[in-house]
Amino acid sequence: MATIKDVAKEAGVAVETVSRVMNNRGYISQKTKDKVHEAMKKLGYTPNSFAQGLSKKNMDCIAVIVPSVSHPYFSSIVYNLECEASLRGYKVFLYDSNGDVRKESQALRICQSSFVSGVLLFSADIPAEFLEKLKIPVALVERNPVGSTISVQCDNAMGGRLAFDHLISCGCKNMIVISTMNQIDMPGDLRESAFVARANELGIAIKIYDAKYNDFINMSYHKIINQALDENPDCDGIFATSDLIAAEVIQCCVKRGRSIPSDVKLVGYDDVPLASITTPTLTTIRQPIKEIAVNAIEAIEALHDGIYTPKGVTLPVTLIKREST
């Protein structure tokens, strides 16, 4: 039975070109279209029934399921996803699950029967066996691969190392990490573990304070931050694993009369717009949010068109130095 790769080889074009011809997406010359259609006819190739159903319904929609659309990181990524999807002719359906796995499962069931082109899922709580039963493409963002899904994430371990090395270069000797930890392993956990591993290599003790997942959902970290500052009055360096946590660190330090960066150097993570409007502005680890969006949409297209893609895409991060260090 012929595949889309066979058609591409016969027509002498890229697999992506065959996909665009079949889905009538983007500019393709009539000559190329004719070559692709001739190859399909010669090989007896027809798109799968699901793809045909999508074409007939003309939906061209991508569902995005996030745990908190009001969180600065997710609002930034959703904005970039919508922009990229629009450029490619897709509409976006947005589901805010508030971190409730039942709502996420319900949203996936709705997607299953709604003829969406695919789902971008920001959750690690959906069981692999549930995802395997779905007949639609699913790509996970900032989550580890599950089942036959594709994962798009950033190099969180690199981010942790960059944060540590920068604080050390600023002369910090008594450092703490403030992060949000989930009940199951998440790529974001590598930010903390890589930071600590780098410290262990140099024989430097690090104090760790892990907030609860509810703190993440409620976007309030003051309690854990104040505990960390109370227990470490000599702290001179803080790594916050999100810019939101870092912004609240600034608030807590201001109330205590501790100056950033004179008394405490601070590094955040994400580089969402919030990072450049705090006082002082945040030194942070930049996630390439636009590139995440591009790769996530491309993963959905590849899965939908039956094109082989790697199980995961990992993008590099960079340190952005501002006033907090």
For 76-135, how does the pLDDT look when each residue is reduced to its tens digit (9 = 90+)?
A: 999 999 999 888 888 898 988 887 888 888 888 888 776 677 889 887 677 777 777 777
Q: Are 302 and 148 in contact (CB under 8 A)?
A: no
pLDDT of residue 59: 52
Question: CA angle at residue 2 from 56 to 128, to 5 degrees?
Answer: 70
Residue 185 has pLDDT above 90, yes or no: no
Query: 176 in helix, strand or coil?
Result: strand
Q: Are 166 and 158 in contact (CB under 8 A)?
A: no
For 122-157, how does the pLDDT look when each residue is reduced to its tens digit (9 = 90+)?
A: 876 777 777 777 778 888 898 887 776 788 999 999
Spatial strand order in the sheet of 265-270: 206-211, 175-180, 237-240, 265-270, 283-286, 318-320
The residue-averaged pLDDT of 280-305 equals: 90
Spatial strand order in the sheet of 150-154: 91-96, 61-66, 118-121, 138-141, 150-154, 312-315
